[in-house]
A and B are shown apart, each in its own frame.
Chain A
């Protein structure tokens, strides 16, 4: 039972992070390689709001999430909007530069030491006991709940709301969408804001569980195989990819060797690229275009 709990909690974290990669890629075709750093900035924003506002988390967390969304908007308005019309490759390079910039800024503003935002927002992170003698931290349990809510909201919004349909339209054919009166820039800015929201939330929950330093960004980058396994433009794929990669990692730790867990996601990825290069649920033409 503990093994299942470990897989589910890890999968939930990966899925939450992966949703940001998928939303930005699906709408703008940009592979955001700074997503890990945006996630890290979200966690540092929680540290700041927690320090300023103090507990309870019900106050600091929404403030930090709002600041995260603004970060996503700022990234698009200041940097990514200028890449419109440029080659996708150039936009990806821009995200790499952005990642380096954010890492440096984080050290400058918050120092390189290990922080514990939980201290400032009054988060106890007590164990949650599950049937079968299993236990997870309350931050991990909250991550599972948050992932379910975020995915349900994203599925519903993209399918049933007007702006969700606009996002999909811009993602599928930006020129046609523009001719129909949908401004691609407004869809893109919403996508970046959403990605910063989900990534920031993942970073915040991870930092409540394990503390916060610059290595949080690397966890974001480690999630990259998840989206490739699931399919870069598929939220359903991100869920499936997260579950597969998390299971591969946890099973490798449990039954083979902890060190194998580091390469397990990439072994899964290589297998997927050999069999189905566009991922489990990805659109076939997307990988051709890449």
Chain B
């Protein structure tokens, strides 16, 4: 009941939100808030909202309130385009945020470039244009990184496996996931791994067992999956139902920490660039303290907190009376200490709008200790 009231209150607050004042720092957020993949994006929005509620209560930035204008694009390109136009022409937003599926990228990128306004991808897949040599107006704080993720995961398997690796691969039939798993497949010969099946699973699937059957019959002793969390974990559960005993490594999405506790599977490894809340750093405690009343578990708010920290630093550095140009200038020389939420800072330069280095950790459930444990500490890659 409390959740229902809270949800209705959020809707009411959004609907009745007063228009941005001339002195507000206006940020236009087009996000996927409802629909099948909303669970990946909505917690990012919630974390950012909570973060800036606190910033505003403490007096705002340079004496101005931060106004997040949040619109649900439902992963619809036309809605994202309408959002971007409204934010830029009507609301005079200083910058735009995309927190949604890649289907919404093209129209927002076009509008941002036309208005020479920075567009930040936060919690959504980083587009190719943010890597060196980066597009002038596109930036990204999102944890996962195409190709770097697979390089790390495969290297981890190589170092961890005690016997010759027969690697099964599992992707979702969406371009980003397929491309990453195809990239991983290309690396297998150089690593001395034997390919043991590749399943590209259409979303949504009513039964993952037929796909798991093929991976098991291919005699994989490791499976690597880089896809939305639901697909990763459902494939694993189907494999376990079939009696498969191998090791499974998957990307640590927002809900990975809670899921490790639920599954209690010692051979499920998750890797990612965000520290888990079980590390209980001061920043985790701060998030917990500020996240009372959140509709998503606090363990899912880390990604949004990272984006919010970066956004706060941008707006601080953009000057007392920021313009789109000064915001852009601030973003090109940004360095934000993540206070342990990540193993490397968010650091952007003129030609690198992803980050100059990326660091990974691996976690798993440990039955002996009855808790999630860290398997490896930060392993850092330079982004070139």
Give A contacts to B, CB under 8 Å. Answer: 2-3, 5-6, 9-10, 13-14, 103-104, 107-114, 116, 119, 125, 127, 135-137, 140, 206, 210-211, 213-219, 222, 249-250, 253-254, 257-259, 261-262
Question: Are A222 and B206 neighbours in the complex by a CB distance under 8 Å?
Answer: yes
* CB neighbors of A among B201-241 (8 A): 201-204, 206-211, 213-214, 229-230, 233-234, 237-238, 240-241
| Chain B residues whose CB sits within 8 angstroms of the CB of A258 once the complex forms | 173, 199-202, 211, 214
Interface of A is mostly: helix
Interface string of B188-202 (1 = CB under 8 A from A): 000000000001111
Top 5 closest pairs, chain A to chain B, by CB: A112-B38, A215-B204, A262-B202, A113-B39, A112-B39
Interface string of B95-108 (1 = CB under 8 A from A): 00000000000000
Q: Report the separation of the CA atoms of residues A201 and B69 in the bound assembly, to the nearest whole angstrom.
A: 40
B208 touches which one: A103, A127, A210, A215 (CB < 8 A)? Answer: A210
B230 touches which one: A6, A13, A104, A213 (CB < 8 A)? Answer: A213
Q: Report the separation of the CA atoms of residues A135 and B244 in the bound assembly, to the nearest whole angstrom.
A: 11
Jot down 19 A-B pairs with beta carbons below 8 A, ordered by A.
Answer: A108-B4, A111-B42, A111-B295, A111-B296, A112-B33, A112-B35, A112-B38, A113-B297, A113-B300, A114-B229, A136-B209, A137-B238, A140-B207, A210-B208, A210-B230, A215-B204, A217-B36, A253-B214, A254-B213
Interface contacts (Cβ under 8 Å), in number, total 130
| Chain B residues whose CB sits within 8 angstroms of the CB of A262 once the complex forms | 173, 202
| Chain A residues whose CB sits within 8 angstroms of the CB of B39 once the complex forms | 111-114, 213
Check: B333 CB closer than 8 A to any chain A CB: no
* CB neighbors of A among B148-175 (8 A): 173
Closest to B234 in A: A210
| Chain B residues whose CB sits within 8 angstroms of the CB of A116 once the complex forms | 262
Shortest CB-to-CB span from A73 to chain B, Å, is: 21
| Chain B residues whose CB sits within 8 angstroms of the CB of A222 once the complex forms | 204, 206
Question: Are A113 and B296 neighbours in the complex by a CB distance under 8 Å?
Answer: yes
Known: A111-B39, A249-B210, A250-B210. 18 other contacts (CB 8 A): A3-B213, A10-B210, A103-B34, A108-B8, A110-B3, A111-B296, A112-B38, A112-B41, A114-B39, A114-B229, A136-B241, A137-B238, A206-B206, A210-B230, A214-B36, A219-B204, A219-B206, A253-B210
A6 touches which one: B8, B34, B209 (CB < 8 A)? Answer: B209
Check: B7 CB closer than 8 A to any chain A CB: yes
Closest to A133 in B: B243
Q: Report the separation of the CA atoms of residues A257 and B202 in the bound assembly, to the nearest whole angstrom.
A: 11
Question: Are B243 and A107 neighbours in the complex by a CB distance under 8 Å?
Answer: no
Question: Are B255 and A114 neighbours in the complex by a CB distance under 8 Å?
Answer: yes
Q: Max chain A CB contacts within 10 Å: which of B37, B199, B230?
A: B230
Check: B375 CB closer than 8 A to any chain A CB: no
Q: Report the separation of the CA atoms of residues A5 and B229 in the bound assembly, to the nearest whole angstrom.
A: 26
A108 touches which one: B7, B229, B230 (CB < 8 A)? Answer: B7
Question: Are A218 and B36 neighbours in the complex by a CB distance under 8 Å?
Answer: yes
Question: Are A211 and B234 neighbours in the complex by a CB distance under 8 Å?
Answer: yes
Q: Max chain A CB contacts within 10 Å: which of B39, B201, B210?
A: B210
Q: Report the separation of the CA atoms of residues A140 and B242 in the bound assembly, to the nearest whole angstrom.
A: 13
Question: Are A214 and B38 neighbours in the complex by a CB distance under 8 Å?
Answer: yes
B214 touches which one: A127, A210, A254 (CB < 8 A)? Answer: A254
Question: Are A107 and B35 neighbours in the complex by a CB distance under 8 Å?
Answer: yes
Shortest CB-to-CB span from B119 to chain A, Å, is: 23
Closest to A216 in B: B204
Closest to B3 in A: A109
| Chain A residues whose CB sits within 8 angstroms of the CB of B201 once the complex forms | 258
Q: Max chain A CB contacts within 10 Å: which of B41, B199, B204, B234?
A: B204
Knowing A107-B34, A249-B210, say if A259 contacts B202 (CB, 8 Å).
yes
B200 touches which one: A112, A113, A259 (CB < 8 A)? Answer: A259
Question: Are A2 and B262 neighbours in the complex by a CB distance under 8 Å?
Answer: no
Q: Report the separation of the CA atoms of residues A9 and B230 in the bound assembly, to the nearest whole angstrom.
A: 20
* CB neighbors of A among B294-340 (8 A): 295-297, 300
| Chain A residues whose CB sits within 8 angstroms of the CB of B3 once the complex forms | 109-111
